[in-house]
Amino acid sequence: MTSVVPSTPHPKKEVPPVSKRKFDDEGREVWGGWALSIAGTSHAGRVRLSNQDAFDRFDDPERDEILLVVADGMGGHRGGETASAMAVGTLGGMCREGEGDAPARLCAAIERANREIFERGSKSSMLKGMGTTVVALLLSARGPAFVAHAGDSRLYRLRAGSLDALTDDHSLAGQLLRNGEITEEEARNHPRRSVLIRSVGVHKQVEVDVAPVEISVADTFLLCSDGIYEMLRDKEIAEILGRAPDAHTAVAWLLDAANQNGGKDNATAVVVQVFPAG
């Protein structure tokens, strides 16, 4: 079930094949002064018949960047799969080909994905109303990392045993929580917790949150759809990420645990572990 997040070749640039990446003796990828363990996987869960999540990894050797993306589609079997795949593909292409700094490229890429998904949905009765969440982590060897998102897919960071969500859920329950109207436990069990106030492709325009992300040695990052955190408490996620010897094991354990706890939704996890180089 576990798989390494694939690297998608750039159509206009000469990109070194995967075999030319540098790895240390532990099998970790040596990149940007760090040694990284990166992996991702996705599963339909134990209830749903199809998987409307999507994820991918995109490398830009010229910019020394790695882009990781997770999307959770909505709008029926065909619509959800189409929307999430379109969003992931558009982000990968735009971030590598677009102009400007990282935040500008991330924002422009999600806005373009929104337009393309909305326009395609408007032309097809089978796809009408489709949309998706998006969370993207852009790692750069030349500067700070950035997270961009719309919807309720999340980016977590585990640091020194403490797990923190680096994104805010763009959901009704998330908004009520931020306004102090409900508690975290009430938000977790809110009957309308899946109602999104922002998503990609449902409306003509979308507001995108972009923020810098500080990275330190020994950090672990998790990008995931709600099929992970709806089935697992933060304490469980932290324990799995803290015990996993590598990213491949971490994503496998997360998906297994989510399914053991019910697997009520599609679940996707992409993990990045940061080690010192050398």
What does the DSSP assignment read for 206-247?
Answer: ---EEEEE---TT-EEEEE-HHHHTTS-HHHHHHHHHH-SSH
Query: Residues 201-229: what's their mean pLDDT?
Result: 97
Range with the largest mean pLDDT of 3-12, 28-37, 205-214: 205-214
Q: Structurally, what CATH architecture does the domain formed by 26-276 represent?
A: 4-Layer Sandwich (3.60)
Calpha distance 131→117 (Å, rounded): 7
127-184: pLDDT as tens digits: 999 999 999 999 999 889 999 999 999 999 999 999 999 999 998 887 888 888 888 8
Phi then psi for residue 144, to 5 deg, are: -70, 160
Measure the CA–CA gap between 105 and 44, rounded to whole angstroms: 31
* pLDDT value, residue 20: 55
Q: Are 139 and 66 spatial neighbours (Cβ–Cβ below 8 Å)?
A: yes
Residue 4: DSSP 8-state: P
Per-domain boundaries in the chain? 26-276
- The mean pLDDT of 201-221, rounded to a whole number, is 97
Calculate ∠ Cα 156-158-159, nearest 5°: 135
pLDDT band of residue 14 (cuts 50, 70, 90) is very low
What pairs with residue 146 in β-bridges? 138, 212
Amino acid letter, residue 140? S
pTM: 0.90
Cα gap 265→255, rounded to integer Å: 11
Nearest CA-CA partner of 167 in 202, 137, 142? 137
